[in-house]
Amino acid sequence: MTTAKRDTYTPETLLTVAVRIFNERGYDGTSMEHLSRAAGISKSSIYHHVAGKEELLRRAVSRALDALFAILDEPDAGRGRAVERVEYVTRRTVGVLMAELPYVTLLLRVRGNTTTERWALERRREFDQRVADLLKAAAAEGDLRADVDTRLATRLLFGMVNSLVEWYRPQPGGGYEGEQVAEAVVRMAFDGLRSGG
Amino acid sequence: MTTAKRDTYTPETLLTVAVRIFNERGYDGTSMEHLSRAAGISKSSIYHHVAGKEELLRRAVSRALDALFAILDEPDAGRGRAVERVEYVTRRTVGVLMAELPYVTLLLRVRGNTTTERWALERRREFDQRVADLLKAAAAEGDLRADVDTRLATRLLFGMVNSLVEWYRPQPGGGYEGEQVAEAVVRMAFDGLRSGG
């Protein structure tokens, strides 16, 4: 499609292209040939930057995972009642998802066929478990309804949050603001849609 | 893998095999050859039952869509306050999703490359719109919190409900009961996780 460009890529910009193609074709369906064509540089130029497509995948999902785990170290994730902490983590998770949309999208689609994919799945489960632990602590502090099964609630909460990768698209000057979506998720999950109570 | 079996398939049993393969390989990634191998019958035997893989897709997603739209005609979906009706429809949607898991999974993965896929997407949007209308009516009746954006709430509600296809697996004698999951979804979405209120 394009003639080979002079290689002005850095590992970082190459990653942007790779993530887009992984999301379009699926990781399994992407060859080095596809990446080379999309980046407009030769395969050997790509190998100059990375060992192969699995390294690109590892870098991409690491970016999403690092951003997610960093949330847990923020001050507001560690102080106050557990229910406040888990609301905070939920709000920030939505924020990271929107800020790192292609990277989190890729992370959520990983299926576990390679070492890197299995590692990513494992880390994702670890993050989910940290949130489940917060919900459990909130239940123990009496701040959740008595009938809440925290394991099931964790799945439904992530179901709601992660669904954003399916429909949220940043639209400058239109669509939803990040803050608005994060607030809607937290209010729906913790206070419900019904008025009164 | 298997030697060709005598063709004892009906369109119905062939559909079961096709849906499994579509979900495993993706619709685009499935050839008649894959279906023939999975069913253990020749391609010409398959063509004896259906015109091609698109007809199998249409039958499969129709099964999911018919079950979903049937909910809207049930008596409890049409009487009482809108908030009760939308809670009922949500509970039953979870029920259909669990009862018709492979068919709804396929429906939710449809991407819109063929006439049948575009039709399925259109019907899905129609169903979502019917639920959005119910939420709007509930808001108009004053039964939703004043800050609820019903369009956004519809997306999050379906995000939560549809996430079930990613993790729910029927396990006789273990795991979650359908009723329990449906109730957890409705309580979380409408009353929230927090106690008190």
Tens place of pLDDT for every residue, chain B, 197 residues?
455 556 677 777 899 999 999 999 989 889 999 999 999 999 999 998 899 999 999 999 999 999 999 999 999 999 999 999 999 999 999 999 999 999 999 999 998 889 999 999 999 999 999 999 999 999 999 999 999 999 999 999 999 999 999 999 887 766 788 889 999 999 999 999 999 75
Domain segments of chain B: what residues?
11-50, 60-191
Interface test with B, best of A86, A98, A160 (most B CBs within 10 A): A160
Q: What would the pLDDT profile of A89-112 be if each residue is shown by its tens digit? A: 999 999 999 999 999 999 999 988
pLDDT at B6: 60
Q: What is the CA radius of gyration of chain A?
A: 19
pLDDT below 50 — which residues of chain A? Answer: 1
CB contact under 8 Å between B159 and A158, yes or no, is no
CA separation, residue B15 to residues B18, B113, B183 (Å) = 5, 20, 31
Q: Decide: A187 and A160 in contact? Cβ < 8 Å.
A: no
Q: Which of A29, A158, A189 sits opposite B188 (nearest CB)?
A: A189
B121 φ/ψ sector (left φ>0, alpha ψ -120 to 50, else beta): alpha
Helix (H) / strand (E) element for A66: namely helix A53-72
Please report how the helices A178-191 and B150-162 are oriented relative to each other, as an axis angle in degrees rounded to 10: 60
pLDDT at A86: 98
> Measured between alpha carbons, how far is A138 from A4 in angstroms, rounded to an integer?
56
Q: Decide: A124 and A107 in contact? Cβ < 8 Å.
A: yes
pLDDT at A80: 96
CA separation, residue A89 to residues A46, A120, B142 (Å) = 37, 20, 30
Q: What would the pLDDT profile of A79-93 be if each residue is shown by its tens digit? A: 999 999 999 999 999
> Measured between alpha carbons, how far is B188 from A152 in angstroms, rounded to an integer?
10
> Measured between alpha carbons, how far is A13 from A39 in angstroms, rounded to an integer?
9
Q: Which of B29, B156, B161 sits opposite A188 (nearest CB)?
A: B156
Write down the ipTM of this complex. Answer: 0.90
As a three-state string, the secondary structure of B53-78 is HHHHHHHHHHHHHHHHHHHHCCHHHC
* Nearest Cα residue in chain A from B185: A156
CATH class of this structure's domain B11-50 = mainly alpha
pLDDT at A174: 61
pLDDT at B176: 81
Question: To which residue do tokens 């609630």 refer?
Answer: A153
Q: Which of A142, A148, A185 sits opposite B193 (nearest CB)?
A: A148
Residues of A in contact with B197 (CB under 8 A): 191-192, 196-197
As a CATH number, domain A60-191 is 1.10.357.10
pLDDT at B55: 95
Q: Decide: A168 and B165 in contact? Cβ < 8 Å.
A: no
> Measured between alpha carbons, how far is A149 from A153 in angstroms, rounded to an integer?
6
pLDDT at B111: 85
Q: Which of B176, B181, B192 sits opposite A191 (nearest CB)?
A: B192
CA distance B187 to chain A (A): 8
Q: Residues in chain A whose beta carbon is closer than 8 A to a beta carbon of chain B? A: 26, 29, 83, 135, 138, 142-149, 152-153, 155-164, 166-167, 176, 180-181, 184-185, 187-197
Residues of B in contact with A24 (CB under 8 A): none
CA distance A189 to chain B (A): 5
Question: To which residue do tokens 């396990």 refer?
Answer: B171
